Amino acid sequence: MVALSTTASRQRSERRIAVRLPLKVRGHDARGYAFEEDTASENLGRNGAAFVTRFDIAIGSDLEIRIPFSQYSRRRVGRLAAARNNDADFATRGRVVHIAESQSEGEKLIGVQFTGPRFHRVFRSESAA
Residue 13 lies in a domain: no
Residue 34 lies in a domain: yes
Residue 7 lies in a domain: no
Structural domain harbouring 48 = 19-118
Residue 23 lies in a domain: yes
Number of domains in the chain: 1
Quick one: pLDDT band at residue 93, thresholds 50, 70, 90? very high
Q: Is 106 within 8 Å of 54 (Cβ atoms)?
A: yes
Residue 109 lies in a domain: yes
Residue 123 lies in a domain: no
Quick one: pLDDT band at residue 120, thresholds 50, 70, 90? confident
pLDDT value at residue 7: 44
Enumerate residues 6+ apart whose C-beta is below 8 A from 20: 40, 41, 42, 126
pLDDT top residue among 127 and 25: 25
Residue 5 lies in a domain: no
Residue 29 lies in a domain: yes
Q: Write the CATH number for 26.
A: 2.40.10.220
pLDDT value at residue 1: 40
Enumerate residues 6+ apart whose C-beta is below 8 A from 5: 59, 97, 98, 99, 100, 111
